[in-house]
Structure 1
């Protein structure tokens, strides 16, 4: 079918960020130090003078802590507020306002305000008290095409699942998930990069760790061998053929190997290395959770949150630039303020999963650890109080994420930084949208 164009709701974001960023970067680099403004203690950065002449390109900037600068100009505030207009409420890296008040009741027989178009998935119910930003329904043309392509890949290319798992695969609704999280992807193939990796990661989690025969026993060995599909083995000519054959030996390794091959066709070397690093973090988190399961140890709340910083969604938003068709330079990605923003985004989105999957996990065999369960056990609360406290933890993480993202955008208004920050924020919002609306997988506890 013809290649659908970018989502109209965000098609102007990259250009707007680039125009502003080029102007600010040219002025900022004129400073004698050759660096960009340092990271302020809070949001705020004066808009530089348009008369400042761009200097000769210099070494990429290093972010440093500096005293808080003056109140930001209206131009900077407009940039940080993101696009305006219908359907753009969730496209902002640092939104703080409360949710809009419900619209007046419509006439009998009319659609509810904000209801999806006919044929769209049910909206589901957001968790009461949860801090989040609504997002527009993902482009249905893209959703349909991504859904078609990912199933063809899973069935025909990597033989990912037996026939009796097909309903669960369809119920995951990964096409809608990825289109909601990456509305600025320039092509369907860019979206497919994220979609294959997401499906492969879930296959490893399900088959090695959880739902479909997973076990903590021997998990380290399985994960290590699967990780070589992402971070390839460099060995002798005698033993390399055996390793190559091993990559086709089970569904998770086939999925990792194939998804990584497609990813490398779109990603630069530093983006690929970044992804490998974040997947190693993910696998380390799997192992920590498995170790606690084997010893029947219930971690302290802070220990659980430490594990969830590794066993979380971070590999997904960290590739937002690859999916968007651009690259955040490695030296800017590696800066501590950027790493903090990415970590906070991953932590907040992962607690969203704990909250929405709570009843699903309670119904599964055994005792599944999630934040509400750990809080109730370690702090001696009721199940309801533990759940509501977990909502507060999520909200604190979200507010901190948005504050830090806004400060970083003000401190380092480079086009790729601004676009990456917005991409991560949109991923956070899209992740919540998918959890809220995927009523096939999730339902809320009766705590209100």
Structure 2
């Protein structure tokens, strides 16, 4: 297999996608969702970032814990801690202009069965769409289509950009570089999330502190959500990201995780996201169980903050995607218990569930608006979100390859499965996995362009831009996190 050269930064899709209707984004620009109702939707304009109310939640015999909530709710709590409400701290607003486009499919069915047609007038120019989407709309009446404005900075912006973070991209991996995330926001989000993890949910013991710091979750989330209007919005995603990793580490991976009995642990943890409705007699026992270990404490608290900023449909969407994630965990655990190495197609199917999907799917909540449930449920939109999750998860397989080789036992990732099932060398299998990632990225961008052309609702375009930003930010974090990742010596 030939070795890839320098990382391609531009789409290499075939000429079949050579025409993109320039009128599409122009038509979308005629609707300013921050000022008027979306055309034909009958729905109110996109809201600006919501305020995040906080209520005192009383804990019997344990004082009060400050967590978000609209009403007083009695829950058991073993500690007496009053956690200060997060106060929005301004950070410099720099419109990076920079997410890659998000994928999408036509609105009228499963695009797996709808190939791009050569010469069709509706086929978009994917490369042009990618660049257009990353810049955002321009011209009269398009101000409302841009990311929501952030807090005003406390101090003038720095005269020059900070030095680029370390790390290098995987040679040949298709991606879109992004500007360095706002350092003021990174610093403040990092401070807040550590306070939450240590003081509010006791997510990790002191001996894990270096690993928590090395995860660089503040830089991760600021890079993935450039449209977050406030720090409070960024913290929604950051808490959920940490909570998901606590569950993965403690139940599945490095810190005591085991496939044995995983189903029971995951189901009970999932009830911190999707509450149990039971009898009065048994409700207290369930409520108390939510504080029994770090994963459930983390899920419970992160979800409590999330639902205060999300609509009911956004919260239900997230619960559904987390159930998908947990099902993927269980499939991988079952293979580990039976020492089964799946076929490549089986592994890729598992990775569509055990993947990053819950993260980009909340990009509208973090951005302070809503993609309505009927638009989110379009088969074309579901294809876009699935491809985004699949591509970013295979990117994770590639960047974490050497880290996972050093862990005990056989750790499944795409290069390992390809090598085992197709009889390739480690290098050949890794390079083939790079090609699979690139194919997924091209499919993602082509699907996004087609959805934008067929459904130019401004809320759809904004959501696509947010998903694309998440894809780019996720790659940036993997590339630059040299504390966790290093590349194999294959070039």
TM-score range, shorter chain: 0.7 to 0.9
In the TM superposition, what is the alpha-carbon distance from 1:81 to its structure 2 partner?
Answer: 4.5
Distance 1:58 1:186, change over 3 A: closer
Matches within 5 A, 1:13-92: 44-45=20-21, 47=23, 57=40, 63-64=107-108, 68-69=120-121, 80-83=132-135
Structure 1, unpaired ranges of 5+: 1-39, 85-114
Change (3 A) 1:58 1:147: closer
Instruction: Say which SS state the counterpart of residue 442 (structure 2) adopts.
Output: helix
Change (3 A) 1:238 1:432: same
Shift of residue 83 of structure 1? 1.4
- SS of aligned partner of 1:231: coil
Q: Secondary structure at the match of 2:20?
A: coil
Deviation at residue 41 of structure 1 after TM alignment: 9.1
> How far apart are residue 293 of structure 1 and its match?
0.2
- SS of corresponding position for 1:310: coil
Q: Does 1:315 align with 2:330?
A: no
Instruction: Kindly report which structure 2 residues correspond to 1:35-434, keeping only aligned pairs within 5 A, or say none.
Output: 44-45=20-21, 47=23, 57=40, 63-64=107-108, 68-69=120-121, 80-83=132-135, 117-118=162-163, 121-122=165-166, 124-434=167-477
Taking the aligned partners of 1:311 and 1:446, their CA distance within structure 2 comes to 27
Aligned partners of 1:43 and 1:406 also within 8 Å = no
TM-score, normalised relative to structure 2: 0.72
Gap change, CA 1:58 and 1:343, over 3 Å in 2: closer
SS at the partner of 2:352?
Answer: helix
Closer/same/farther in 2, CA of residues 391 and 116 from structure 1, 3 Å limit: farther
| Unpaired segments ≥5 residues, structure 2 | 1-15, 32-36, 44-105, 137-159
- CA distance in 2 between counterparts of 1:390 and 1:281 reads 23
Size of the aligned set, in residue pairs, is 374
| CA-atom RMSD in angstroms | 2.7
Structure 1 Cα separation of the partners of residues 343 and 123 of structure 2? 41
Q: Tell me the CA shift for residue 395 of structure 1.
A: 0.3
Distance 1:258 1:229 in 2: 8
CA-to-aligned-CA distance 1:103-124 (integer Å, 9 cap, x gap) = xxxxxxxxxxxx9724x642x0
TM-score of the two chains, using structure 1 as the length reference: 0.79
Q: Distance in 1 between matches of 2:129 and 2:194?
A: 43
Q: Deviations for 1:171-230, whole angstroms, at most 9, x for unmatched residues? A: 000000000000110000000000000000000000000000000000000000000000
Query: 1:392-427 CA distances to partner (integer Å, 9 max, x unpaired)?
Result: 000000000000001101111111100100100110
Larger helix proportion of the pair? 1
CA 1:239–1:79: 2 relative to 1, 3 Å: same
